[in-house]
Chain A
Amino acid sequence: MNKIVLGLILGGILGILDGLTSWFTPAVRSGIVGIVIGSTFKGIIAGILIGVFARKVNSLALGIVFGLAVGAFLAWIIAFIQHGYYFQIMLPGAMVGLIVGYATQKYGAASQPLRA
């Protein structure tokens, strides 16, 4: 599986899980559908960006750092829109980015060179 597809799938799955865990926060439970959709979308975007980075840069350390940064940034945007829960949104978001960054570097298939 290539790195972009891996990032997309993994980001999406983790995004869904991330969104579902908001059910345990009673204050936001009523808007869970929107949260899950938004979280999934955020995860997919993050996964694609991290996958593209992994394709260009073959470095586990940089991939992890980039994933962390992208995950945290996208999570910050969501938290900004929500006007709150910065810590509860950004920390898991950064961790998801970290995991996707690691996975795309370690497990994603490198792009095949074009044959003449």
Chain B
Amino acid sequence: MKFLPDQVIARLQTEMQTPDLSGTRYRALKLIGRGGMGAVWLAEDSILHRTVALKVLSAESSSAGLAARLMQEAIILARLEHPGIVPVHDAGTLPDGRIFYGMKYVEGQTLDRYIEPLSLRQRLQLLQRIAEPLAFAHSRGIIHRDLKPGNVMVGAFGEVLIMDWGLAKIMAATSEDHARVQAEEDSASQHSPGKPLKEESSIAGATVHGTVLGTPGYMAPEQERGDVKLIDHRTDVFGLGSILKYMMRDDRSDAHSELAPRPLRAICNKAMAAEMSARYASVQDMAADIGKYLDDMPVSAYRENIIERTVRLVNRNRVAVVLVLAYLLMRTLFILFSRH
């Protein structure tokens, strides 16, 4: 009995996974990545002559719930027109019945790789730029819920984009939204309430209470508990804090660096507080504190003692302090010489 070589099997698997793009404007070029819901393919848009990224539901994940969630992701991205959020160009159904959406192809690196050679100051400046699209999304009533270094891309020209809004949640902003969300949650609760599982269990885009959605190590406590009703923009504050913690880590040992300055550790601790009420009220507030730290100003998360305040003021006004000390020294020398 002849068995197929591994390379042939791998090739067949790839061919099976390759989306059927016949009849569409796209031509698949290569597989970029694979996630829980589907795969992302690099494709060529034959009409606009540009490369795009197509996120396609994988064949084995093609349940009605996941299809709805992928479409929900496309709808959320379409709502969020911001330079820091990957834009969606297209969405629909492929000839093989799989849901897809097309978005901008971002050439760059994920945050975890990009920050490796950067200084702490540069990393913090990057963090401020991550907060901007997040704040925009929150203003549109959308929570990301899966913030981590792997979901932030830095493009070839230094542009920062937040990716993978697959777990994003729309907060009810209007009474119509509220009615729609309530109807979806009522429908979802009839299925598998309180069962901790991954995104596959969500129905029509609504998250069942008790569902644990997120990435271990970056999830807020309310996410870990599956307390879906508590999740709001402060969940993303926690996520941003977890990215800050990652940025502050000691690259040599992978441990959280105890050498990081106290105000910065205080900012991180406040963002990642277990109690939601103890966290920053918004990502803008957290970014503002980071900005104050970078400007050598006192931060709201940390109460300086008198020595720290003096040292900070001296550091901020080093030249003026040196000039005044030089003047006093000169005056002292004159006094001493005049006595002799």
Contact A21 B323 (CB under 8 A): no
Which of A31-39, A72-80, A92-100 lies at the interface? A92-100
B8 within 8 A of A: no
Q: Does B327 contact A92, Cβ atoms closer than 8 Å?
A: yes
Q: In the assembled complex, which residues on chain A have CB atoms less than 8 Å from the CB atom of B319?
A: 102, 106
| CB atoms of A95 and B327 under 8 A apart | yes
User: Cβ of A21 and Cβ of B331 under 8 Å apart?
Assistant: yes
Confirm or deny: B302 has a beta carbon within 8 angstroms of a beta carbon on chain A.
Answer: no
Q: Which residues of A contact B326 (CB under 8 A)?
A: 95
Question: Residue A103 at the B interface, CB < 8 A?
Answer: yes
CB of A13, distance to nearest CB on chain B (Å): 11
Give B295-340 interface residues, CB cut-off 8 Å to A: 319-320, 323-324, 326-327, 330-331, 334-335, 338-339
Distance between Cα atoms of A96 and B338 in the complex (Å): 20
Question: In the complex where A91-B330, A92-B330 touch, is A99 in contact with B323 (Cβ < 8 A)?
Answer: yes
Taking chain A's interface residues, is the majority helix, strand, or loop, or is none over half, making it mixed? helix
A111 to B338, CA, bound (A): 43
The prevalent SS among residues of B at the interface is helix
A88 touches B320 (CB 8 A): no
Q: In the complex, how many angstroms separate the beta carbon of B328 from the nearest chain A beta carbon?
A: 9
Q: Is the CB of B338 within 8 A of A25?
A: yes
Residue of B nearest to A27 (CB): B338
30 intermolecular pairs with C-beta atoms under 8 Å apart: A14-B327, A21-B331, A21-B334, A21-B335, A24-B334, A24-B335, A24-B338, A24-B339, A25-B335, A25-B338, A26-B338, A88-B334, A91-B330, A92-B327, A92-B330, A92-B334, A95-B323, A95-B326, A95-B327, A95-B330, A96-B327, A99-B320, A99-B323, A99-B324, A99-B327, A102-B320, A102-B323, A103-B320, A106-B319, A106-B320
A residues whose Cβ falls under 8 Å from a Cβ of B: 14, 21, 24-26, 88, 91-92, 95-96, 98-99, 102-103, 106
Inter-chain pairs besides A88-B338, A91-B330, A99-B327, 17 sampled, C-beta below 8 Å: A14-B327, A21-B334, A24-B334, A24-B338, A25-B335, A25-B338, A88-B334, A92-B327, A92-B330, A92-B334, A95-B323, A95-B327, A96-B327, A98-B323, A102-B323, A106-B319, A106-B320
